Structure formats: structure tokens, C-alpha cells
Structure 1
């Protein structure tokens, strides 16, 4: 006689579910799938091994079944210590193993038992001999729920495989009446766009669900997973029809999410934990605006490093006349740059930011008068096209009145130079002709100013609208392109002899 009436499971807070099944080292089926399914349904899973199976997503390679005595030892070890709320039975490799499980269940009594009769391979081949098949049929009389696929239902009923859904329901009803077990009929082997499933008791169809068929090859272990989920939900107090709706809804999502696991080259597994995976693996924190902006201009930064002017600064081999041309243009640039810094101070929403930009403006003027004039004197020069283009870009940013856009446009003149100074001063030496220039941008005070500018830009981005952040990104990238052009101009100008020589400066 069976343990309890079908559809009347016992409710517990955390279902303790024992899986009795074979293994799958690739993790998608067997005990491994059962334990994941039990956990996904809120239960505590345990496992007794009936067979060690060498398989993966492509197929089974070998099966090793431990002696029946060892199976009994495993069952007794768990049963003597743990209160079991439900038992899910999967692969039982031979008649002696079926007999051990049948006898163990009979001695215990009162267990809620779900049987997934693993009898027919996906290829259609029978997996058990006639003696084992007969033993499985007898075992069905002791369990609460049987979950065969259609070929397995045909073996249990000793009839041809049902070709239609009405035929499958009728076949399940005949077997339910002969065995006394409730049958979960699965229509996945049928064609069509829908996948029906139903609970059939000796009294008839108790519940039916149908879902659109999912186009996926991630179906490895679906039978194991569904039966383990049903056992867990039954132990939690759900009736079989309610459990079927919940379990099939979960399994459909698991199949759909399975491809993202990228496991194996054959029929991949389902994602048993798809409902809770976002909690297990929280999304990466959003990348800060400054980090993304700096990363986005990596090709421009690489081009700056590679240009002959900057490389010559690093090695000290840059021609003095080229550097002098650069300094004269830089002095013109800094004069306009200081005006934009002052405009940033006027737009800044906080007093500390207002002070920062005002002090930066004063420093820009000081650098112009000290560093530049010390090398090239007070000779004047006309602004080159690259200089005008850069300063026009900065003034255009201020004209739009967006504080974040102005800050983003100003930032490369801090960040790029701090980066170059920090890296290049290490390569310089006491006799390096441009060590004073490199040291200015490697100075700890300038590094601190750069960090402040980056922090202010990040704060401005966090408070800006999406459209303003986009304009900030555009302004930052454009300034970086102007920096590259500004570094490329001196060599081109001197090489083409398009600038006045030292004697003609200011003429």
C-alpha cells in the first residue's frame, strides 16, 4: 500500500528532500540537477547515489553501479539520522537496486515519494532489462507521483507510445488506475508550438497547464529537475496541480536562461537558479563617468604618447626650436584657458569649487609668466590654427552655460598633463633638457589639483541629466583631440618652416 493519499502532502517549513539517483559529472542531470532544483524550490537537498555515470552534455560514456549493499548503507545512514519530508527517485540501474529502494521505503512508511522512471534514453533505446522494468512498475504502486516522459509512460503501461495529447492523457489514466499512483503527464515529446503537462489521478485529469514551446537545446536534465521540484513543492504543502503550475513556470524560465550558462557542446543544462541568480551575482557597480571618459579616449592617449613631440620630450631629444614654438603657443593657450577657468568658477554651485577654479586660473597665469617666459622671453607670436581651434572649443563650452560641460572640457589639461608628467619625469635625468617642464606637471601640488579636478568632474556628472552627461563626454573627448593636435602642430610647423624664426618673432 502507498504511504498516503495522492495530492495530500505534508506541509513543512523547509522541506528536507532526499534524491536517490545517478550522477552527472557535467552537473545538468541526475543528483546534481536534483540538488539544484530542490534548493531553487526552497528545500534542503540530500543525495544517495545509485550509479556513477560518466556523461556530459553530449551523452553517456559509461555507468558504474555500486553494490546493492552499499546503496542500502547510504539509505540507512541518511534515514537513521535525518527526518526526511520527501523522497525523489531517479535512475535505478538494475532490479536489485530497485528492490533495495522498495524495501527501504516499505520499512519506513509515511514518506512522500516522487518517482522519475528513467527507463528510455533520448535516442529511444530502452535502458533497463525486463526484470528491472517490472520492478519499476511495482515500485510505482508505493509512490505518490510518477513523472514519466511519453516513451517511459508507454513502457509503464506496456503499450505503444502515445502520438497525441488526448492519447497520452488516456494512457496515463489507465496506468494511474492500475497502479494507484498519480501521474504527471509530460507532452514535451509531442510536436506543435505548445507543451502541455497534466496531473492525472485514478479519478481523471486533476490539473493541466500548457506553455509555448521554447526553442532551445538547453534541455539536458529537465526530467530530473521537474520531478525534484515537484517533490520539494509537495513536501512544502502544495497540491500536485498547484505544484505543477509553479514547477513548470520555473522550468520554462530555467530552459530559457540555460544558454547563458554556456556549458558543454551538446544539449546544455537549464539554469536552475535563474530566479535568484541576480541576488547571488549582483550586477557590477556602474562605471563612474570619469573612469569611462578616460577609458573612451585610450586611443587618443596612445596617439599622444606616440607622437614625435611628446616622445621627444620623454627622451630629451626634442629639438629646442620645436619646443620654443610649442611654448609660445602654449602661452597663448593658457591666457584663454585662464579665462575659461574663471568662467567655471562663476558657474560652480559650491564655494569650494569656486575657489578651486579661481586658484587654477591664477596658477595658469603664473605658469605663463614664469615657465614660458623663462624659456622664450616676452616675444609675441600669432596663434596657430591648432591653438585657435582648442581655445574656440573651450569658449564654446562656456557659451552654452553648462557647468558640467565646461568642467569636462577643462579636465584634459589637468589629467593628461599630470599623467604625462608622472610617467615622463621618471625617465628624465639631471641633464635632461626638459626636466623643469616635466617636473612642473609631476609636482605633488599639480597631482593634487588634478585629483580635485577629476572629483569635481565626477560630482558634476553625477548631478547632471543624461543629456548633459553625454555633452560632457563629447566635450572631454574633443578636448583630448585638441590636445593631440596641439602636440602634433609644433613639429609640423617647424618642419614646414611656417613659423617665424627666433630673430623674426614679434615682427
Structure 2
């Protein structure tokens, strides 16, 4: 069994299908869809498509042995799925390797009967395959193959399938996954059969109901199911949940097979249909990538802020006191409602750590607003917010009212990030003679720098985890706030109308 959350390492041993629906190609897709890391050893090169097999080339068995040893000498395997074994020597080569390596989970899909009903193996090879079965934990024959292994005529009723599965399980000391896809009726049951029940918690038969799907996209279903079961068994640790999960996945994949429009015969299943529907195919950027893209995405705004008359005057000490006082008054008014916005972020936050962080930010905004009011404005009540201040606050308050925590966090980030960046540079010019020295030192406060780092981590992680639509909404809110920051810094330099 795969330990912890580690991805199961699953080796498929089978022939090829150049159209990708069956054989080793289907095995690898199924293993990946089941959450495993798939590896492949090729037993035969098959020229086939959705309408049939045209030719088979079997490489020398010493090359097959070399492939098998190359994998097992380097990789610790969690499961092995075995499919097409074309001939006695091939079967014996695989058997010898299994005896040497003893993988923890072995599933054999005994490929013996072609879709046409023709036997694929001669008598010697069929006997060699029977001798191989006791080395497996589970075998997954279809109805025709089960009948050959049981020495009976192919069953047409489900009870007869179960009876043949019992006979094969007892004869070879193996669990049989009996499949009802070829029996009469609309029901398509499957069942795990283990005579004695030692490997199924004391039960000899565990059935899994199913309904027939009207489709011709069934090419490679046997290969796909057996590989999925092997992978889930390595991941989940027991056969019943592994089979149930694999069967649900196969049903979903069969339903979506026709949408692939592959081939003019019996088409393949859509191995990743469920994953595509639930997770999509778009990549998600890492948090550090989001951070870089967002910061570079407002480079024009940051440059424009640096070039503002207000910022240049604040930096070199030539800013008129009237402009500075107007800015402080508007900042005090801004911080009052900004604290409300941060409090709403705290209320919406999903974790205690984030709740505490935004609550501390709201408290800090109020403390700073009080300090501005008493220390810098002399206790004088600031005037009404100007149009720029009002527009910025309307943007933040509207974003908070919409209730999407992720977008709100993106909207408040520029007030941390742009201020911290500008403040660090302004702090460096705060000489003893600078008229605004005390104010400039508050810009570069180490505690605010640390809070900015945490706000950035929260926002970029949320953006990294979000779906594409939410990530776009976060970017728009972030960019809009950055533009409001530029307007806010520019406002003191705009002559009153």
C-alpha cells in the first residue's frame, strides 16, 4: 500500500495501441486518472485502431526482461497491472520477473479473446497464462475469457458468470473481478469473487451494481478498469473501495467517450473527462509567480507615483505645508472607513490566523487615524472627504459588500504594498533637518513592512488557489486600488476648483 499521501507507483505490462484507447496507452491514462504515477513495459507492438487489429510484432523476450529489470532495479513499485502477453515465452518471462520482485499488488487482465471471438493464444500459451494466475492478487477477465479459464461455454446470465468466477477463484487462489458487460439485460453488474473470502473481509462475493450505457465507445474498457483498480488498491489499501471508485470513474469516462470523436469503429472512453470537468486544464500560477506578475503589472502606476509633484516635494522637503496638511486630513478620513473594510476582511477570513491579522490591521488603521487627528492635525476635525478619497473608499466598501474574501484581500493589498515600497525609499531621505522627518519615519515602520509581507502572502496564495475567473476578479480589484492610490497621492497637487 502506498504510504500516507504518496502517489502510487504503478507499472503496466502490456501491448500497445497507436490510437491510444487500449493497451499500454490506456493503462497509463487510467493510472494517471486514478492518482498514480504510471510506468510502462511493452510486451508487443500492435498495429490496431478502433476497428480492429492489423498486425502484431513481439520483441525478443530478452529485451522484455531487460525492460522489466530496468524498472524494478530502480523504482520501488506499489502495484503492477499485466495485460496482453503474446505467447508462452513472454508469459514465462513475466512470471520469472514476478517471482524475483514480488510486487505488493498484482492485477492481471487475461487478454485471451479478440473482439471477433477468436482465440489470441495457442494452447501452450493459454496453459502458461493459467500457471501465471496464482502470482496475481486479482484477475479481471471479461465473460468470454472467464469462460475459457473455467473450461465452460460463455455465460449469458449473471448468476452463471458468478458461478464461473467462483470456480476460477478456487482453482487459482485469486480474486476474480467478474464483469457483466456482456450478459443479457440493461443491468451491468460487476463483482469481486474470492472463494473463502479471506481477502474480502470474509465475504465471497461483493457486488457492484451498474446500468448499461448506450454507446459504442467501449474500446479499451478492460485495460482501463484493471489499471484503475490496481492504482486505487495501492492508494486505498483494500479491494472493495478500490473497485467501487474505479467503476464509478469508468462509468463517467464511458459516458463522455463519444465527445472525443476518435475513430470510426468502437471509440475509446474519455479517461480524463471528469478531471477536465471538475478541475479544467488551465494551469494555476504559484504564489511567487502571482506576486511577481501583480507587482510588475502596476509598474506604470508606481512610476507615475514617484513622478508626482507631491511625492517629489515630500521626498526633498519642498512640499508646501498646506498640501501636506490637506493630504494628512484626507488620510485620516480614509483610514476611518479603511478600518471598517479590514474589519470586514477579518469577518470573512476562513482561518483564525487571518481573522486576527486583518483585525489587527483594522485596529492599527484606527490608531493611526487617531494619531493623525491629535498629533498632526491638532485635534481639528478634518473636512469632508474629497472626491478622490470618496472614490477610493467607495471602491473598497463596495468590494467588501460583495462578500468575496479573496477579491477583498486583493483590493486592500495596494494600501499595504505601495505604501510600504514608497515608505522604505522615503525613510532613507529622512535627515535630521528634513521638515517632514517624523512623518517619513512612520512610512518605513518595520512593523508595517512585516504586515505588508503577510498581506502579500495571503493575497498571492489566495490568487494561486483560485479558479481563473476569481483570479481575474482579484487582479481587477488590485489594479483598481493601485490606480486609486495614484489618484490619492496626486490629489494634494491638484488646484482646488
TM-score by length of 1: 0.53
Report the Cα offset of residue 136 of structure 1.
Answer: 0.7
In structure 2, which of residues 17, 26, 37 is the aligned counterpart of residue 24 of structure 1?
17
Any stretches of 5+ residues in structure 2 without a counterpart? Answer: 198-203, 284-386, 389-497
Report the Cα offset of residue 160 of structure 1.
Answer: 1.6
Report the Cα offset of residue 211 of structure 1.
Answer: 1.2
Match of 1:142 in 2: 135
**Structure 1 residues 282, 14: CA separation in 2 closer, same or farther (over 3 Å shift)?**
closer
In structure 2, which of residues 102, 116, 123 is the aligned counterpart of residue 123 of structure 1?
116
2-side partners of 1:55 and 1:91: how far apart?
14
Rg bigger for which structure?
Answer: 1
Tell me if structure 1 keeps the 8 A contact 2:78–2:103: no
In the alignment, is residue 262 of structure 1 matched against residue 268 of structure 2?
no
Match of 2:235 in 1: 236
2-side partners of 1:80 and 1:186: how far apart?
35
Report the Cα offset of residue 123 of structure 1.
Answer: 1.3
Report the Cα offset of residue 110 of structure 1.
Answer: 4.0
2-side partners of 1:263 and 1:281: how far apart?
20
Report the Cα offset of residue 161 of structure 1.
Answer: 1.3
Cα deviations by residue, 1:95-116 (Å, 9 ceiling, x for unpaired): 0000000000001124310000
2-side partners of 1:252 and 1:274: how far apart?
11
Report the Cα offset of residue 24 of structure 1.
Answer: 0.2
Any stretches of 5+ residues in structure 1 without a counterpart? Answer: 1-8, 284-350, 353-507
Match of 1:85 in 2: 78
Cα deviations by residue, 1:137-181 (Å, 9 ceiling, x for unpaired): 111011000000011011111222122111111111111011000
Tell me if structure 2 keeps the 8 A contact 1:208–1:241: no
Tell me if structure 1 keeps the 8 A contact 2:156–2:184: no
Report the Cα offset of residue 274 of structure 1.
Answer: 1.0
Tell me if structure 1 keeps the 8 A contact 2:15–2:24: yes
Report the Cα offset of residue 72 of structure 1.
Answer: 0.2
Match of 2:281 in 1: 281
Q: CA RMSD in A?
A: 1.8
Match of 1:191 in 2: 184
Cα deviations by residue, 1:389-446 (Å, 9 ceiling, x for unpaired): xxxxxxxxxxxxxxxxxxxxxxxxxxxxxxxxxxxxxxxxxxxxxxxxxxxxxxxxxx
Which moves more between the two structures, 230-239 or 135-144? 230-239
Tell me if structure 1 keeps the 8 A contact 2:79–2:104: yes
1-side partners of 2:3 and 2:187: how far apart?
32
1-side partners of 2:148 and 2:126: how far apart?
8
In structure 2, which of residues 174, 184, 195 is the aligned counterpart of residue 181 of structure 1?
174
1-side partners of 2:27 and 2:146: how far apart?
21
Match of 1:94 in 2: 87
Tell me if structure 2 keeps the 8 A contact 1:41–1:233: yes
Count of matched residue positions in the alignment of Structure 1 and Structure 2 = 278
Match of 2:271 in 1: 272
Tell me if structure 2 keeps the 8 A contact 1:23–1:51: yes
**Structure 1 residues 34, 110: CA separation in 2 closer, same or farther (over 3 Å shift)?**
closer
In the alignment, is residue 54 of structure 1 matched against residue 56 of structure 2?
no
